[in-house]
Amino acid sequence: MTFGSPRRHFRLTDSTNARARELAEAGAPGGTVVTADEQIAGRGRQGRGWTAPPGGALLYSAILRPLDERHLLLPLAVPIAVCEAAEELQPGIECRIKWPNDVWLDSRKLAGVLIEAKPQDGWAVIGVGLNLTIEREEFPPELRETAISLAAAHLAGRGSLDGPGALEAASRALDSSLERWVDAAEKDILAAWRQRDALRGREIAWEGGSGVADGVDGRGRLVVVSSAGERLLLGAGEVHLNL
């Protein structure tokens, strides 16, 4: 599947996912991409919000259609694509993935993924927020220690992240990497995801308990070994590192 054609860019909108969902409901083709400089009601996972200063992040929502049984591992495929796009935009960095689909750089959150699917109608909206040029002080105080942007990686300099074409370049990089990953074979998705697994071997906690993360199974569930030695599978929800 090709992403980025057609493309709609908003200077300001409530949520690019909301705009893309409307377009999908109205019959827009697979590959349609919605981006924005700024969102006033950005949506995050688990009912949370998502904020970014105007122009500081790639705010991107793509329609995947048709959505079918080839896409069972979509929640794992998308963060791999985001990692590859980020590494192309800021050469020298290495991104990791915190289950299920947060993208981390230097143990901080660089990007988030929110997939909203309507399988009965055969489509999904792939929402990505990728922090590009946000400086530490621009993040809300509660996120300053846990969030990061590509520009803050202080490696090869800001390079192509600055200037009027930056959002466009980031959007194109994500179009291409999504093209490589959304229809990829499950074995390739699992292998790439496991190479970037930020939690494997780490002590984690979730609402129902704690244990050591031991990768993902073939359906993308997180495998955890409890303190009693029991192997558990987590299918949804949020896990935290026990520091």
Scanning residues 40 to 69, which ones bind ligand BTN (CB under 6 A)? 42-45, 48, 50, 59-61
Tokens of 202: 């780490």
Task: State which residue has the least CB distance to ligand BTN.
Answer: 112
- Minimal distance, residue 76 CB to ligand BTN, in Å: 15
The count of chain residues that interact with ligand BTN, using the rule CB under 6 A, is: 20
Task: Report the DSSP pairing between strands 7-13 and 33-39.
Answer: parallel
Closer residue to ligand BTN, CB minimum distance, 145 or 230:
145
Going through the chain in order, the beta strands assigned E by DSSP cover 7-13, 33-39, 57-64, 96-98, 102-105, 108-118, 123-131, 203-206, 209-216, 222-226, 231-234, 239-241
Q: How far is the CB of 129 from ligand BTN (least distance, A)?
A: 3
Task: Write down the least CB distance from residue 134 to ligand BTN, Å.
Answer: 13
Report if residue 75 touches ligand BTN, rule: CB under 6 A: no
Cβ-count burial of 38 within 10 angstroms (0-12 exposed, 13-18 middle, 19+ buried)?
A: middle
How is residue 154 written in tokens? 């202080």
Q: Which is nearer to ligand BTN, 30 or 112 (CB)?
A: 112
Return the range that interacts with ligand BTN (CB under 6 A); candidates 9-17, 145-153, 180-188, 219-227.
9-17
235 Cβ neighbours under 8 A, 6+ residues apart? 219, 221
In whole angstroms, the minimum distance from the beta carbon of 231 to ligand BTN comes to 27
Distance CA 100, CA 206 (A): 13
For ligand BTN, the closer CB: 30 or 127: 127
Interface residues with ligand BTN (CB under 6 A) are 15-17, 39, 42-45, 48, 50, 59-61, 102, 112-114, 127-129
